[in-house]
Chains A and B, each alone.
Chain A
Amino acid sequence: MLAALVPLPVILPLLGAGIALMLPGRRRLQTAVTVITLVVVLIISLALLFGVDALGTQVVAVGGWDLPYGIALVADRLSALMLVVSSIVTLLVLINAVGQEMADTANETPVSVFNPTYLILCAGVANAFLAGDLFNLYVGFEMLLGASYVLLTLGSTAERIRAGVTYVVISLVSSLIFLMAIGFILAATGTVNIAQLSSRLAELPPDIQLILHVALLIGFGIKAAVFPLSFWLPDSYPTAPAPVTAVFAGLLTKVGIYAIIRTETVIFSESDLRIPLLVVAGLTLLVGILGAIAQTEIKRLLSFTLVSHIGYMLFGVAMGTVEGLTAAIFYTAHHIVVQTALFLAIGLVEQRAGVTSMRRLGGIAVLAPGLSLLFFIPALNLAGIPPFSGFIGKVALFQSGFETGDWLIYVLIGAGALTSLLTLYVIGKAWNLAFWRDPDDVEEPTAELVEEFEERREALAAGKAWKAKPSVPRTMSLSAGAMVGVSVFVTVFAGPLWDVSSRAGENLRSPQTYVNEVIGHGDGS
């Protein structure tokens, strides 16, 4: 019964996309279809998470072809958890985007492809999380990447096309590398089913295993923006519309991380790339955050922190212990939510003040205190200030590192702590310059900012109550507020979330259970 739910997170958004595409002129109806689809997907994902956690991994052989020959969709704890987090994020970002679209209709033409494309992106993400064979994973990646190309170049302005070219070409290359790796693996083992690969790859000579392993990791590493392969990200993400950047930053790189987790645990359970991965994780942490220090544009700054914090997840994966994997899974869930919340908050700032450069902003905390709070909470969370989930994730990561204990891991813990402090510095700088400082100190203030503060000064001098112009649409601020609420929720319910991550981590560390559940299903029923 529960297994019947597994394909729905992929099928429903695709159906919704088809219906939305047939309603080009009718924006309200289109939006309604999209929102309803995503709400249903969220409910199904929650049911899957609770069901899978209680009853164990659910496997569906698509089209009734027996496994391992047919296409498998597998929902284990990790997949279900990622599905739930991604459904929450996609739903809230969609509502935010609808709000912005309604506000922007005056100066931009409405885009009737946005909703269908967005749904295809959701279907692709779900397909990647549920894929039980490598080729289906590739198809999931292509679905979400194809949709992301369209979303990134929405409106096709000169700036977005320029950024889009970089993004598209890099992604195409990464997909080609992934496809080549699949070809090599198929030639070496004769299968693409992940469960079968787990045992067959282990029988290959170690050098061939290493080549296949590295080829796969390079493909995924580009998608996850891991250090030497990360330079495309801060260049392309910030130019997209704010909600699109939010969902890209939150989800797309994490799909890459998810694929890396699968590769490291189930597929290549024997081949060991622990040391190179640890080195790369450390470099990702440091290079990313050093890049963030140099930025004046808040969106670019956040993109660099995104790259940097990928290093934490990679660190957890590279350690390979149950605790390390648990921390990586927990951190991934936390980071998806927090990074999306931050980008949505910055989207509000952009909507309110027109720019996001720290050289041109100042005193936002006076003009829009509520909005500033929406930025402040996830910002502290990202930096890992104690009560928040970012702190819990980092502490768990470092603790599992100390338990494993060799000098390289101690170096990594040092790099992680340093990155955390530098994140705090960067976030503090953004807060001080854009939100906190006196608007008179701003280097190149925008005309609107100067005017608004002038009005405020006059009103206060005349003794009248000054009231800020509410220039941010309510839908946008409410959805961003809900996203921040979810990030706080992750903190409050860190315990249960940690337990689920821990059970998912245990599942991953014993790949034989995964194999038995998938292949056994094919033999048994």
Chain B
Amino acid sequence: MTTSFVMLLAMGVMFACGLYLMLDRSLTRVLLGFLLMGNATNILIMLTAGGPGRPPITDGENLSAEGMNDPLPHALILTAIVITFSLSAFLLAMIYRSWRLVRNENLEDDIEDAKIALTKYRSTGEEAGTSGEYDDTEFGDEAQTPIPGALDLDEDGSPRERLRGAGDGFGEAVPENPTDHAEKENMTPEELDRHDEEGGR
């Protein structure tokens, strides 16, 4: 059986990229890696159906299966696609929940791991090798460069309000919505809250 070299190459590249992404700490990348690897596997199964360009069913004149594409792998792929799809939906929901809970969608440190790291730290005086700042999240207004006008799904208010709550006086520097920035300038804090609530709905 000869297979299409391009498909084979595509499969290999997708497997490689998928594996690379799955090894990352960021769960969004793990999800992307899973999607890539899932589709690479689908291509693998499709390649088993036979060479490219073959008809899916016989022409109806001579009823032999000669030169026909094997239909079974296609049925299998269909099932595999549905399964991958539903699982990635679940994974997305879980990643979002994880981000909501810890404000950080990275894989968390294992407590047991951290304990071991701590004992090492105590005994050798070296720094335990856990992650430093990881702030590459792309959700909501917590990101370093939030998308202007994006829906704010948090309960804790806009960055401006949080900063005002923290009392460091840099509230002016981060307007969450450029269009109504000017009219907010003249409002009392209570009015501002109400304004933001209405705007959020």
Contacts and interface: CB of A to CB of B under 8 A. Distances in A.
Contacts of A179: 41, 45, 80
A172 B79 contact: no
Contact of B83 (A142, A161, A180): A142
Contacts of B98: 161-162, 165
A314 to B, nearest CB: 25
Interface string A173-196: 100100110111011001010000
B41 A165 contact: no
A183 B45 contact: yes
B86 interface: yes
Contact of B48 (A135, A156, A166, A187): A187
Contact of A165 (B73, B87, B107, B112): B107
Contact of B94 (A158, A161, A180, A192): A161
Residue with the highest number of chain B CB atoms closer than 10 Å, among A142, A172, A173, A186? A172
Interface string A258-295: 00000000000000000000000000000000000000
Given A153-B94, A183-B45, A176 B27 contact: no
Contacts of A190: 70
A186 B37 contact: no
B90 A161 contact: no
B72 to A, nearest CB: 7
Residue with the highest number of chain A CB atoms closer than 10 Å, among B27, B47, B72? B72
Nearest to B106: A165
Residue with the highest number of chain B CB atoms closer than 10 Å, among A153, A168, A183? A183
A186 B97 CA distance: 38
A168 B70 CA distance: 33
Contact of A161 (B48, B86, B97): B97
B108 A162 contact: yes
B45 A172 contact: no
A158 B22 CA distance: 22
Nearest to B1: A187
Nearest to B3: A187
A186 B72 contact: yes
Interface string A116-146: 0000000000000000000100010010001
A453 interface: no
A156 B83 contact: no
A317 B36 CA distance: 35
B41 A186 contact: no
A448 to B, nearest CB: 24
A150 B90 contact: yes
A168 B94 contact: yes
Contacts of A164: 94
B91 interface: yes
B143 to A, nearest CB: 20
Interface of A: 135, 139, 142, 146, 149-150, 153, 156-158, 161-162, 164-166, 168-169, 172-173, 176, 179-180, 182-184, 186-187, 190, 192, 235
Shortest Cβ-Cβ A-B pairs, 9 listed: A187-B48, A183-B45, A183-B44, A158-B101, A186-B48, A142-B83, A161-B98, A162-B108, A156-B97
Given A149-B94, A168-B94, 10 more contacts: A146-B86, A146-B90, A149-B87, A158-B101, A165-B27, A165-B107, A180-B41, A187-B47, A190-B70, A235-B112
